[in-house]
Amino acid sequence: MTDIPAAPARSGLVPLAWRRMLLRHLVVIGLSAALIYGFAVVHGQWSPMHRWNRAFADASLALLVITMSIGPGARLWPVLLWAVAYRRETGIYATLLAAVHTVIILGGWVEWDFARLFGYEIIPQTGEYVMFQQGFGLANLIGIAALAYALMLMFTSNDRSIRLLGTSVWKFLQNGATVLWGLALAHTAYFLFMHFLSFHRPTPEPNPLQWPFVAAILSVLLLRAAAFVSTWGKKRNSSR
């Protein structure tokens, strides 16, 4: 009797999925490293603390811009559907870079004095804290809220969380990424345009990427608006 070849094991699909996921992580890690290096070069005239603080912050925002653009971009141009698989990884590394940015701020700017993080400074004559930079404290509070929300999204951005929470609850949570987007923009806008206005001279010099980031943010808003109009139009036509 002729031997019948065994059917391919279905478990072979799992290693393939893991290889694809690993590839996506490596691609986004490479992109993150390139962004950090590029932004560090742009900010090369600043002190090391501010250079790396801004490099990680700018790279994080750039990844967040990409994350928020993938969905509407794929709706408008189906040829970009392949990029949807990368949205989880770009969101994860945007969060990790924001966390590193926070650690640099804590260690290099406020020197682990959490009162200073919220705009307070100690008066040597009295030894008491007084509010010194209201905007700095509020912007950092918004940034902490954004990071906390981002961490929640990151830790639930996996298939196990989908099974644990249920599809509807998980989608509701992840769709709240627009909340993260708003918090991140408010935090970033303050440090890009307002923080150093309270000093006699900018220290350090203003971020040279101010207006490119404004253009990127407006592009995301226009992209999402266009995707909304396109989706609405298609549904309206299909219901006729």
Domain ranges of the chain: 22-232
Residue 145: what pLDDT? 93
Assess contact for 180 and 153: CB atoms under 8 A.
Answer: yes
Assess contact for 130 and 120: CB atoms under 8 A.
Answer: yes
Tokens in use for 98?
A: 């924001």
Assess contact for 198 and 133: CB atoms under 8 A.
Answer: yes
Residue 235: what pLDDT? 77
Identity of the residue numbered 226: A
3-state secondary structure of 146: helix
In the predicted model, residues of the chain with pLDDT beneath 70 are 1-14, 197-206, 239-240
Residue 10: what pLDDT? 47
Radius of gyration of the chain (CA): 22
The string over 137-152, giving b where at least 16 C-beta atoms fall within 10 Å of a residue's C-beta and e elsewhere, is bebbebbebbbebbee
129 pairs with which residues across the strands?
A: 122
CA distance 233 to 16: 38
Q: Is the peptide bond before 204 cis (omega within 30 degrees of 0)?
A: yes
CA distance 30 to 108: 26
> In the block, which residue shows the tokens 């804590």?
106
Residue 9: what pLDDT? 46
How many C-beta atoms surround the C-beta of residue 231 within 10 A?
Answer: 13
Q: Please give the sequence-ordered ranges of beta strands (E in DSSP) within 6-155, or none if there are none.
A: 120-123, 128-131
Residue 4: what pLDDT? 37
Assess contact for 133 and 119: CB atoms under 8 A.
Answer: yes
Assess contact for 99 and 32: CB atoms under 8 A.
Answer: no
Instruction: Identify the CA nearest to 187 among candidates 167, 220, 222, 217.
Output: 217
Instruction: Identify the CA nearest to 129 among candidates 143, 118, 141.
Output: 118
Residue 1: what pLDDT? 42
